[in-house]
Amino acid sequence: MSTLELAQAAKAASHTLAVIPADRRNEALERMAQMLEENAEQILAANAADVEVALGLLERGELSSATVNRLRLSPQKLAEMAASVRATAALPEVTGKVLERVELDEGLELEKVSVPLGVLAVIFEARPDAVTQISALALKSGNTVILKPGKEVEQTATVLVGLIRQALIEKTLPEGAVSLVLGRAAVAELLGMTELIDLVIPRGSKQLVQYVQANTRIPVLGHAEGICHIFVDEAVDAELALAVIADAKTDYPSACNAVETVLVHRAVAAEFLPKLAERMAAAKVLLLGSDEAATLAGQVGPVGDWNTEYGDLTLAVQVVADMDEAIVHIHRYGSGHTESIMTTDASHAERFLREVDAAGVYHNVSTRFADGFRYGFGAEVGVSTSKIHARGPVGLDGLTTYKYLLRGSGQLVGSYHGRDARPFTHVKKPV
């Protein structure tokens, strides 16, 4: 099928899926998880083929090591993907919920009800788990999805989507609910389908996100960069801060929620930075930073700029005079993703949490917690740094909108204006 035909099928399926009972969609998700487990060998073989091609691209400088790391699947990662699908199925239903109920007049009642967005187009790079996460969230929320993977993950994505569509057929759900398009030309086609696609979600490089945002009139959900900071306050438990920074940098360096810059209060920098340098050296993390940081730590190379998302074992370090300077730095160079403060002073923590403008603002915890699964969303379609509609890790709620239902008995607008107009009651009702 052509890209247009797939999109038309997805649109038709969206109308059907939106009214299919939740238990049937949950059954399809369980079958989807089973398919991942039953076909692990086939999935891993396809992924190994993708990785082999990617390693050749890496050697030629056409792909980053961070991208290759995101691409790799393992039996453990595959098991986690299946668990994520089941966790999504177990979540409460988010569509068809009455959000508000208002009596406008006797016998005239207005309801605000949650509904699916419709058709999602997801364009992503090197993330096999994006296929299952997004498909699961789409099905759970009653949306349909068209997946466009990067060339580096095409073989893995083809196998995964084939299995998902088989699960849909077995559970008598519309096969067009999840579809796959390949090739660079498909991107431009999808971005032009304003009448068929309701939301575009890019997951990948800054360049990809910016390209999508600049080339479509369809609403776009996503973030261009994950430049996350940790601020080490003057009142700090040094060992706790070191452990958190190590987790935030080394647990998964290529993730968008990995810390990229550590800001250290000047009052504790002389004592803290040597310890940080030692801990990072042990973890094979390259430190870059300011002259002052280099002088105090002794193992810091020069930083190119402060708005780089490294995506690997590289960490920038800056000494700041106080929290004011730290917040200014974050707002100037951060991407609005996730920021954290290490402090034992509750008032300092509350000020940081209140004043820092980002999708996630943390106290004494790793930035790596910025994740839909960890938030209890089952999975996520991505992280949004937008302030409109959805922000932060986007789970089921971010894939719904609402409509208004008005039930009456022949009331006329003319009765509510002019001489002897009836008054509206506007009584809030329980939902």
**pLDDT at residue 54, as a whole number:** 93
Query: pLDDT, tens digit, for every residue of 184-238?
Result: 999 999 999 999 999 999 988 788 888 999 999 999 998 778 999 999 999 999 9
Query: pLDDT, tens digit, for every residue of 239-285?
Result: 999 999 999 999 989 889 999 999 999 999 999 999 999 999 999 99
Strands, sheet with 108-116, edge to edge from the N-terminal-most edge strand: 400-407, 108-116, 98-105, 427-429
312/66 Cα distance (integer angstroms): 6
Q: List strand residue ranges (DSSP E) for 204-295, in order.
A: 228-232, 259-265, 286-289
**DSSP assigned state of 285:** P
**pLDDT at residue 379, as a whole number:** 78
**pLDDT at residue 228, as a whole number:** 97
When pLDDT is cut at 50, 70 and 90, the band that residue 113 belongs to is very high
**pLDDT at residue 389, as a whole number:** 85
In contact, 341 and 362? CB cutoff 8 Å: yes
In the chain, % of residues over pLDDT 90? 84
Q: Which pTM was predicted?
A: 0.85
In contact, 335 and 223? CB cutoff 8 Å: yes
Q: Which of helix, strand or coil describes residue 67?
A: helix
When pLDDT is cut at 50, 70 and 90, the band that residue 299 belongs to is confident
**pLDDT at residue 372, as a whole number:** 86
**pLDDT at residue 33, as a whole number:** 97
In Å, what is the CA distance from 316 to each residue of 1, 172, 242, 267? Answer: 48, 52, 15, 19
| Annotated domain spans of the chain | 3-93+114-221+381-403, 228-369
15/8 Cα distance (integer angstroms): 11
With 90 as the cut, is the pLDDT of residue 380 above it?
A: no
Per CATH, 3-93+114-221+381-403 and 228-369 having the same topology is answered: no
Q: What is the mean pLDDT of residues 281-308?
A: 92
CATH class belonging to 228-369: alpha beta
Residue 164 CB partners (closer than 8 Å, separation 6+): 32, 35, 131, 132, 135, 178
Pick the range with the lowest mean pLDDT from 288-297, 364-373, 374-383: 374-383
pLDDT averaged over every residue in the chain: 94
Query: pLDDT, tens digit, for every residue of 96-109?
Result: 999 999 999 999 99
In contact, 197 and 190? CB cutoff 8 Å: yes
CATH of domain 3-93+114-221+381-403: 3.40.605.10
DSSP output for 177-206: GEEE--SHHHHHHHHT-TTT-SEEEEES-H
Top mean-pLDDT range of 49-63, 210-224, 227-241, 373-387 = 227-241
Residue type, 105: D
Q: Which of helix, strand or coil describes residue 401?
A: strand
**pLDDT at residue 11, as a whole number:** 98
375/358 Cα distance (integer angstroms): 16
When pLDDT is cut at 50, 70 and 90, the band that residue 357 belongs to is very high
**pLDDT at residue 264, as a whole number:** 98
With 80 as the cut, is the pLDDT of residue 66 above it?
A: no
- As to burial, measured by CB atoms within 10 angstroms (0-12 exposed, 13-18 middle, 19+ buried), residue 50 is buried
**pLDDT at residue 48, as a whole number:** 97
- C-alpha 304: how far from chain center: 28
18/30 Cα distance (integer angstroms): 19
- Pairing type for strands 98-105 and 108-116 reads antiparallel
The CB density around residue 354, as the number of other CB atoms within 10 Å, is 8
257/234 Cα distance (integer angstroms): 24
